[in-house]
Amino acid sequence: MCCLTGWRIPATILPSSQPPQQTTDKPKTAKQLEKEAKKAAKLAKFAEKQAKTSVKSGDVQQKKPKAVEEKKVITYDIPTPVGEKKDVNVELPAQYSPRYVEAAWYDWWKKEGFFKPEYGRNLNEDNPKGKFVMVIPPPNVTGTLHLGHALTNSVEDAICRWNRMKGRTTLWVPGCDHAGIATQVAVEKKVKREEGITRHDLGREEFMKRVWQWKNEKGHRIYHQLEKMGSSLDWDRTCFTMDPGPQEAVKEAFVRMHEDGTIYRSNRLVNWSCTLKSAISDIEVEKKELAGRTELPVPGYAEKVEFGVLVNFAYQVEGSEDRVVVATTRIETMLGDTAVAVNPKDERYKHLHGKTLVHPFTDRRLPVLQDDFVEMDFGTGAVKITPAHDPNDYEVGKRHNLPFLNIFTDDGHIVEGYQQFTGMKRFEARRAVLEALKEKGLYVETKDNPMVVPICSRSKDVIEPMIKPQWYVKCGAMAQKAVEAVKSGELEIIPKMHEKTWYHWMEEIRDWCISRQLWWGHQIPAYFVTFDPSVPQQKQQDNDEYWVSGRTEEEARQKAASKFNVSPDKIKLQQDPDVLDTWFSSGLFPFEVMGWPKETKDMELFYPNTLLETGHDILFFWVARMVFFGQHILGKLPFKQVYLHAMVRDAHGRKMSKSLGNVIDPMDVIYGISLQDLHKQLDENSNLDPKEITKAKEGQKCDYPQGIPECGTDALRFALCAYTQGRDINLDVLRVNGYRNFCNKLWNATKFAMMNIGKGFKPYSSLTELQQKVSG
């Protein structure tokens, strides 16, 4: 048989102009011959029809494509005071236009209080239909919202509106995060670009004024975007994480956790960003895997820096011709070596037990240690030990009571006392040390080596392990409770596939470093205690003994007086200048927005929350910290469910990045924007370097050669919600325009319905009333 799908007709049944060949088969009957003739006629007719169709198809292909009709922008120009209801009695435009449809509604919704839980009910009375409470993942105050935020708010708004339709008391709390590192970096760049000075030139007080000015500009822009997205937030409960209420909450949480021993101070190895001049937590470190020799860009260096190599060099044994060859991926750190370790079972080095080695650039003598951690079959079997700049060496240094020598300044230069290397940048010293070893005849070889390079997710700098006194949160016990909550079903993570990530993070957790060497943020409410000269004291700022915490300085003074049995007037206090990790205050968000630590009505009614909705990329950054603090401080989970949506990438599957030019403002999709204006935004509102701006413009030109057409809020939200399945969303912004066309269909259907029901139509109060009207 044949059909239009392209199957070939067997040649044996095709009509032919030649007479049939004679065969020796049995002659056919008249009826069989008649049947075959009819069949042949049908096939001939079908073949003729196919031929005609092919000709028509060819004609169609030759026709020029129709020009796409430009959609007209129709605006709602009827004078309507802000907050007043839109006039819906006028004749509707013939064509759908988002600007006309979406105009004026939001201000009326806000004025009427539709988004407040108090609307239409008394909060002192129980609602039999229940309640629904959710907080917004507070966007960073550093800039404007992008399509990732738009996805979050589209999903959350749909959830909230559905719960209101179900008759539940619904609260969705808005807010904004102060974003310590990101904000300070952005303002520092702005000050440097516009005034040519640093924050240190301004001083802490004046710099903080500049940051608040930045916040007031950017924060209002973010809230404006949320409104234009149609987000049904209760704006009267808006919370900024540096407002007086959250500041009080942060102090209360820190003091309580310091008093019960959950927060402590310790001098240990941290992840240090030389660009930020600050410590960062483990989960803010990105691990870049290298297969071998690779050159990477590093902030502050004009040329790329080589990684992925193993350098072998020799130490001379004191008083002997022997040498010990060691290997390292960071040759510059040999300046801080204080020992060389070998495995005690390694026969090759038993004759060196108890010997010392000579450092070629200092008068330092390095003992040859025996430690089981050394792998005999890795490298030469001898390992250089730099306790102040390597996590493994740090532990060896503690076991063998070695000196911990810090060779870097906070901004990554070699410290005093290292001859020609002093003052060099760390990666400039890398090349210089290598050349100096060659001159002394101590260099052996360099070979490719697969390795992992730790990168600061904030500054893209290569992390330098450094010993610093910092504040930490003990996480072990809290992590165990968080695991039990999910396993018992008390806390539900949706989709369920993310539970595996949850368990993995919790099992591998280490104590959380919460100190940040910044000015913008919550200054740590801890004070170093000194006494009047008449009182003897051993000053040690690197441990917890001489530190007290307090909600106020006076409270800290009284604590110190009691702790050291000294009169308060003999006490001198110096507050820690560092600030807390931004995620510390964000971890308190579900209850600090309700007024905690005060016993407010909102805390009574709306804590715990019902749901936490956010992207899966901050499951541990944010969600875990909220669970930790909720359980530890208040004894309750902050929410019952966690819904994690997919991550938004561009149409090519790339992560949204300002330097790629693919970070899109939702307003540009809602209202449309030309390519020239996209370029203008980069020039006027970006902290990117000139090279990155050029690269970003090329990306915009490639993806949006005609700019972005006006799509409207409804079409954007529709498109984003349709993309919510899976782990990643490759969002083609231009596809949103297809959902605008769907909105146009709804518009036409609505016009048709209204044309037929007449102007005097009043909607029925219920489906029951409608059914009675139809049946009656």
Q: Average pLDDT for residues 48-74, to the nearest whole number?
A: 54
109 within some domain: no
Q: pLDDT, tens digit, for every residue of 253-300? A: 999 999 999 999 999 999 999 999 999 888 889 999 999 999 999 999
Q: How confident is the model at residue 630 (pLDDT cuts 50, 70, 90)?
A: very high
Judged against a pLDDT cut of 70, whether residue 17 lies above it is answered with: no
Question: Do both 455 and 490 map to the same domain?
Answer: no
Q: What is the pLDDT of residue 65?
A: 39
Question: Do both 495 and 435 map to the same domain?
Answer: no
567 within some domain: no
Q: pLDDT, tens digit, for every residue of 411-465? A: 999 999 999 999 999 999 999 999 999 999 999 999 999 999 999 988 889 999 9
Question: Do both 124 and 206 map to the same domain?
Answer: yes
What average pLDDT is seen over the chain? 88
Q: How confident is the model at residue 334 (pLDDT cuts 50, 70, 90)?
A: very high
686 within some domain: no
Phi, psi at 300, each rounded to 5°: 90, 0
Q: How confident is the model at residue 16 (pLDDT cuts 50, 70, 90)?
A: very low
Q: What is the pLDDT of residue 540?
A: 56
Judged by phi (left if over 0) then psi (alpha if -120 to 50, else beta), residue 330 lies in beta
ω into residue 98 within 30 of 0, thus cis?
Answer: no
User: Which element (helix H / strand E) includes 320?
Assistant: none
- Helical pair 690-703 and 675-685, crossing angle rounded to 10 deg: 160
Question: Do both 387 and 300 map to the same domain?
Answer: yes
461 within some domain: yes
Q: Which of 619, 645, 671 is the last residue of a domain?
A: 645
444 within some domain: yes
Q: How far apart are CA 151 and CA 147, in angstroms?
A: 6
Longest dimension (CA), the chain: 134
Instruction: Answer yes or no: are the C-beta atoms of 625 and 642 closer than 8 Å.
Output: no
Domains identified in the chain, total number = 2
Question: Do both 461 and 486 map to the same domain?
Answer: no
Question: Do both 492 and 458 map to the same domain?
Answer: no
Find how far residue 558's CA is from the centre of its chain.
Answer: 41
Inter-CA distances, 475 with 280, 488, 579, 628, Å = 16, 20, 20, 8
Instruction: Answer yes or no: are the C-beta atoms of 675 and 706 closer than 8 Å.
Output: yes
Q: How confident is the model at residue 6 (pLDDT cuts 50, 70, 90)?
A: very low
- For the chain, give the percent of residues with pLDDT over 90: 68
Q: What is the pLDDT of residue 538?
A: 54
Q: How confident is the model at residue 25 (pLDDT cuts 50, 70, 90)?
A: very low
Q: What is the pLDDT of residue 373?
A: 92
In DSSP notation, 683-732 reads HHH----HHHHHHHHHHHHHH-TT-B----HHHHHHHHHHT-SSSEEEE-
Q: pLDDT, tens digit, for every residue of 152-193? A: 999 999 999 999 999 999 999 999 999 998 899 889 888 988
Q: What is the pLDDT of residue 686?
A: 67
Q: Average pLDDT for residues 619-638, to the nearest whole number?
A: 96
Instruction: Answer yes or no: are the C-beta atoms of 590 and 609 closer than 8 Å.
Output: yes
Judged against a pLDDT cut of 80, whether residue 657 lies above it is answered with: no
Q: Average pLDDT for residues 553-574, to the nearest whole number?
A: 94
Q: What is the pLDDT of residue 185?
A: 87
Side chain identity at 278, as an amino acid letter? S
What's the start-to-end Cα distance of the chain, in Å?
56
Q: What is the pLDDT of residue 662?
A: 78
SS3 173: strand
Judged against a pLDDT cut of 80, whether residue 37 lies above it is answered with: no
Q: Which residues partner with 279 through β-bridges? A: 272
Q: How confident is the model at residue 543 (pLDDT cuts 50, 70, 90)?
A: low
Q: How far apart are CA 249 and CA 393, in angstroms?
A: 39
Q: Average pLDDT for residues 53-58, to the nearest whole number?
A: 50
Closest C-alpha among 211, 225, 244 to residue 136: 225
436 within some domain: yes
Q: What is the pLDDT of residue 64?
A: 45
- Give the lowest-confidence range in 96-110, 397-411, 659-673, 722-736: 722-736
Q: Both tokens of residue 628? A: 């930790």
Residue 654: count other Cβ atoms within 10 Å of its Cβ: 12
Q: What is the pLDDT of residue 545?
A: 85
Judged against a pLDDT cut of 60, whether residue 704 lies above it is answered with: yes
Question: Do both 314 and 402 map to the same domain?
Answer: yes
Q: What is the pLDDT of residue 474?
A: 97
CATH number at residue 130: 3.40.50.620
CATH number at residue 311: 3.90.740.10
Give every CB contact of residue 759 below 8 A, 6+ residues apart in sequence. Answer: 89
Question: Do both 446 and 309 map to the same domain?
Answer: yes
Q: Both tokens of residue 89? A: 């009695």
DSSP structure class, residue 462 = B
399 within some domain: yes
Q: Which residues partner with 294 through β-bridges? A: 307
Q: Give the range of the structural domain holding residue 589, as residue numbers without chain letter.
A: 118-240+476-506+580-645
In DSSP notation, 390-428 reads -HHHHHHHHHHT------B-TTSBB-TTSGGGTT-BHHH
Q: pLDDT, tens digit, for every residue of 205-263? A: 999 999 998 888 777 889 999 999 999 999 999 999 999 999 999 999 999 999 999 99
* Cβ density class 238-270: b for 16+ within 10 Å, e for less: bbbbbbebbbbbbbbbbbbbbeeebbbbeeebb
- Give the lowest-confidence range in 2-6, 195-199, 437-441: 2-6
Question: Do both 385 and 403 map to the same domain?
Answer: yes
Q: What is the pLDDT of residue 5?
A: 31
584 within some domain: yes
Q: Which of 615, 645, 675 is the last residue of a domain?
A: 645
SS3 252: helix
Q: What is the pLDDT of residue 92?
A: 86
Question: Do both 335 and 376 map to the same domain?
Answer: yes
- Which parts of 508-640 fold into alpha helices (H)? 553-564, 582-586, 589-592, 601-606, 625-629
Q: Which of 623, 645, 667 is the last residue of a domain?
A: 645
Side chain identity at 22, as an amino acid letter? Q
Question: Do both 439 and 354 map to the same domain?
Answer: yes
Q: How confident is the model at residue 3 (pLDDT cuts 50, 70, 90)?
A: very low
Q: pLDDT, tens digit, for every residue of 120-145? A: 899 999 999 999 999 999 998 877 88
Question: Do both 444 and 501 map to the same domain?
Answer: no
Q: Which residues partner with 295 through β-bridges? A: 306
Q: What is the pLDDT of residue 542?
A: 59
